[in-house]
Chain A
Amino acid sequence: MKTQNQKAWFFVLPVLLLVAFNALIPMMTVVNYSVQETFGNNIFFWEGVRWFEELLNSDRFHAALGRQFLFTGIILAIEIPLGIAIALAMPRSGPWVPVCLVLMALPMLIPWNVVGAMWNIFALPDIGLLGYFMNTTLGIDYDMTQNPFAAWATIITMDVWHWTSLVVLLSYAGLVSIPDAYYQAAKIDGASSWSVFRYIQLPKMKQVLTIAILLRFMDSFNIYTEVFVMTGGGPGNSTTFLSIDLVKIALGQFDLGPAAAMSLIYFAITLLVSWLFYTLMTKDDAK
Chain B
Amino acid sequence: MRKRNLIPIIYILFLMLPIYWLVAMSFKTTNEILSGFSLFPQTFTWDNYVTIFTDPSWYLTYVNSILYVSINTVISICVALPAAYAFSRYRFLGDKTLFFWLLTNRMAPAAVFVLPFFQLYSAVGLFDTHIAVALAHCLFNIPLAVWILEGFMSGVPKELDETAYVDGYSFPRFFTTIFLPSIKAGVGVAAFFCFMFSWVELLLAKNLTAVEAKPIAAAMTKTASSAGYELGLLAAAGTLTIIPGAIVVYFVRNYIAKGFALGRV
Number of B interface residues in the complex (CB < 8 A): 94
Interface of B is mostly: helix
Establish whether residues A121 and B203, one from each chain, have CB atoms under 8 Å apart when the complex forms: no
Contact partners of B139 in chain A: CB under 8 A:
19, 22-23
Which residues of chain B (248-265) have a CB below 8 Å from chain A?
248-250, 253-254, 256-258, 260-262, 264-265
Establish whether residues B142 and A98, one from each chain, have CB atoms under 8 Å apart when the complex forms: no
Interface centre among B112, B116, B250, B258 (most CB of A within 10 A): B112
Establish whether residues B15 and A106, one from each chain, have CB atoms under 8 Å apart when the complex forms: yes
- B18 CB–A CB distance under 8 Å: yes
Which residues of chain A (185-234) have a CB below 8 Å from chain B?
207-208, 211, 218, 221-222, 224-225, 229
Contact string, A1-24, partner B, CB cutoff 8 A, digits 1/0? Answer: 011111111011011101101110
- Asked, given contacts A224-B111, A250-B114, whether A109 binds B261 with beta carbons under 8 Å apart, the answer is no
Contact string, B230-261, partner A, CB cutoff 8 A, digits 1/0? Answer: 01001100100110111011100110111011
Which residues of chain B (80-94) have a CB below 8 Å from chain A?
80, 82-83, 85-87, 89-93
Interface of A is mostly: helix
Which residues of chain B (158-195) have a CB below 8 Å from chain A?
none
Q: Of the listed stretches A48-56, A69-77, A138-146, A259-267, name the one at the interface; the rest are far from the partner chain.
A: A259-267
How many A-B pairs have beta carbons closer than 8 Å: the answer is: 268
- B199 CB–A CB distance under 8 Å: yes
Measured in the bound complex, the distance between the Cα atoms of B21 and A127 in whole Å is 10
- B46 CB–A CB distance under 8 Å: no
Contact partners of A129 in chain B: CB under 8 A:
17-18, 21, 39
B260's contact among A5, A164, A166, by CB below 8 Å, is which?
A: A166
Contact partners of A19 in chain B: CB under 8 A:
102, 105, 138-139, 142-143
Interface centre among A12, A27, A86, A243 (most CB of B within 10 A): A12
- Asked, given contacts A14-B83, A19-B143, whether A5 binds B202 with beta carbons under 8 Å apart, the answer is no
- B104 CB–A CB distance under 8 Å: yes
Measured in the bound complex, the distance between the Cα atoms of B33 and A102 in whole Å is 30
Establish whether residues B256 and A222, one from each chain, have CB atoms under 8 Å apart when the complex forms: no
Establish whether residues A18 and B79, one from each chain, have CB atoms under 8 Å apart when the complex forms: yes
Measured in the bound complex, the distance between the Cα atoms of B19 and A105 in whole Å is 13
Contact partners of B253 in chain A: CB under 8 A:
98, 101-102
B110's contact among A89, A117, A130, A224, by CB below 8 Å, is which?
A: A224
How far in angstroms is the closest Cβ of chain B from A102? 5
Measured in the bound complex, the distance between the Cα atoms of B11 and A126 in whole Å is 26
- Asked, given contacts A86-B8, A100-B12, A229-B221, whether A173 binds B86 with beta carbons under 8 Å apart, the answer is no
Q: List 21 A-B contacts (CB under 8 A).
A: A9-B92, A9-B93, A15-B83, A18-B135, A23-B108, A27-B116, A29-B115, A89-B7, A107-B19, A109-B245, A109-B246, A109-B248, A128-B21, A161-B18, A164-B11, A208-B261, A211-B264, A225-B203, A250-B111, A263-B112, A270-B108
